[in-house]
């Protein structure tokens, strides 16, 4: 699993009542948008002031947030310096609030959109996801539409919320949403080790690649199960987030039931500013959302769910202990084959043609797949892998031929699978071997 980066704004230091909304171009009432789906996250191509950028669709944020911008042609307008705070153990950080920006995706646009820009180089999702990602976008983009999200086909249909008509669906269940500070909350139930079924209020967080987050609460009997392990949970706007990972016996949304769902318990320091907000008990992330066909309707305060082909997929923790990221580039020697023909003759007559391969090589640049973290006590750590190692081959296959997501899948296929790695460390190539091991 690629490291989760959680960006959460504790406050928004300005009023936006006069801001225009997203809407369709003239005579359009529905628009279909295709998305990339990487590490459980929906990634959309959106133009900002004429420059196409990539955004994660994140129901946990209000205003669009941009980070690590290297393109000066974006022409961000009306900039004001502010300080904002998010999840993590650090302090508030400097950001820039900008008004009057044009956002456009297909035939959906807004000519007067506020946004934030964070210039902290540590806030960058691109190395972890393996593709350029420039920001996150949430409430302002969602609030005026009904979203029909198909995680299987990787398409979202946007409808005018005022004219949308629900279809009859026997296999669907509809749930009430509470919209608080531009974020959606839903009631559900979890069963932990003590077999007590507890009702919880969860933030619906499409920008979290995890399944569940729960906040410890003795009064509600929300405690970390005995069977757990400590881990780095992600990077928040205000610093790193640590905690314990475990599983719930059951997670229930209406009659939908998921067994052995993954759950994380962030430490109290990282969530000290949000733990008591709106009596919230945690978050429902994208590893659960992806198991449903979702209709999200902020205007009617409803979410409608129907099981999809992902519903019965197992909840898997990282079985190698390796977390990868792109970091810099590597020079790779690639083999090229130029085929030529040689005519074989006997007695002056052609008897056949033999293909001759002339081997040529070229040097190409490819992103370096670096080990960003190695979990303590994991198969990779026991074998001797270290943070900073560059993966060269996996099971005798060159890693440059695969995307970051594909390499992560190879490192997490099934328990007991033998993994052979060649890594580059301080200019030397080293070989390691271990077997994947199920966690919890």
> What is the percent of the chain with per-residue pLDDT over 70, rounded to a whole number?
80
Dist CA 345 CA 17 (whole Å): 86
Res. 10: pLDDT tops 50: no
Phi-psi region for residue 76, left (φ > 0), alpha (ψ -120 to 50) or beta?
beta
What is the reported pTM? 0.85
**What confidence tier does 362 reach under pLDDT thresholds 50, 70, 90?**
low
Nearest to 207 by CA among 94, 90, 264, 125: 125
Cα gap 275→264, rounded to integer Å: 14
Express each pLDDT in 253-262 by its tens digit.
999 999 999 9
Task: Note whether 103 and 23 are within 8 A (CB).
Answer: no
CATH number (1.10.287.110, 2.60.40.1120, 3.40.50.300, 2.40.70.10) of 5-160 reads 2.40.70.10
DSSP H or E stretch at residue 153: none
Domain segments of the chain as ranges: 5-160, 173-307, 322-334+365-435
Q: For the segment 221-231, what is each residue's pLDDT rounded down to a tens digit?
A: 899 999 999 88
CATH topology of domain 173-307: Cathepsin D, subunit A; domain 1 (2.40.70)
pLDDT band at residue 165 under the 50/70/90 scheme: very high
Lowest-pLDDT range, 53-67, 183-197, 290-304, 330-344? 330-344
> Same fold for the domain at 5-160 and the one at 173-307?
yes
Tell me 399's DSSP state: G
DSSP one-letter code for 186: E
Cβ atoms of residues 139 and 84 within 8 Å = no
pLDDT tens by residue, 287-346: 999 999 999 999 999 999 999 999 999 999 999 999 898 887 766 666 565 554 444 444
Tokens 């009542």 correspond to what residue? 17
Region 131-158 average pLDDT: 95
- CATH architecture label of 322-334+365-435: Roll (2.30)
């Amino acid at each position: 699993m690629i490291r989760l980066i959680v960006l959460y704004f504790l406050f928004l230091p300005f009023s936006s009542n006069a801001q225009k909304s997203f809407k369709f171009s003239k005579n359009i009432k529905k628009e279909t948008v295709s998305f990339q789906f990487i590490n459980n996250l929906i990634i959309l191509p959106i133009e900002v002031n004429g420059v196409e950028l990539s955004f994660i669709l994140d129901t946990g944020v209000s205003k669009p947030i941009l980070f690590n911008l290297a393109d000066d042609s974006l022409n961000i307008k009306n900039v004001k310096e502010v300080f904002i705070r998010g999840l993590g153990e650090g302090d508030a950080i400097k950001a820039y609030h900008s008004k009057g920006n044009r956002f456009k995706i297909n035939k959906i646009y807004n000519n007067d959109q506020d946004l934030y820009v964070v210039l902290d180089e540590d806030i960058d999702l691109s190395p972890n996801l393996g593709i350029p990602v420039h920001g996150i976008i949430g409430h302002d983009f969602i609030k005026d539409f009904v979203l029909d999200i198909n995680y299987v086909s990787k398409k979202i249909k946007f409808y005018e919320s005022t004219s949308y008509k629900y279809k009859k669906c026997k296999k669907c269940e509809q749930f009430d949403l509470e919209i608080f500070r531009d974020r959606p909350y839903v009631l559900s139930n979890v069963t932990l080790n003590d077999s007590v079924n507890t009702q919880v209020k969860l933030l619906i967080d499409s920008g979290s690649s995890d399944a569940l987050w729960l906040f410890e609460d003795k009064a509600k009997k929300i405690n970390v199960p005995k069977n757990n392990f400590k881990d780095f949970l992600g990077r928040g706007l205000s610093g790193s987030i640590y905690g314990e990972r475990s599983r719930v016996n059951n997670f229930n949304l209406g009659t939908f039931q998921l067994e052995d769902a993954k759950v994380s318990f962030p430490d109290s320091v990282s969530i000290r500013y949000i733990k008591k907000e709106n009596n919230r008990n945690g978050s429902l992330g994208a590893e659960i959302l992806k198991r449903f066909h979702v209709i999200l309707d902020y205007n009617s305060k409803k979410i409608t769910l129907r099981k999809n082909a992902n519903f019965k997929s197992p909840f898997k923790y990282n079985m190698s202990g390796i977390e990868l990221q792109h970091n810099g580039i590597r020079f790779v020697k690639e083999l090229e084959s130029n085929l030529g023909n040689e005519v074989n003759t006997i007695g002056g007559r052609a008897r056949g043609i033999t293909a001759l391969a002339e081997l040529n090589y070229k040097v190409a640049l490819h992103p370096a797949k670096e080990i960003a973290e190695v979990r303590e006590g994991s198969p990779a750590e026991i074998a001797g892998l270290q943070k900073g190692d560059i993966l060269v081959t996996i099971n005798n296959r060159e890693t440059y031929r695969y995307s970051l997501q594909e390499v992560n899948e190879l490192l997490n296929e099934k328990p007991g699978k033998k993994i052979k790695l060649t890594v580059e460390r301080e200019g030397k190539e080293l070989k390691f071997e271990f077997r994947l091991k199920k966690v919890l």
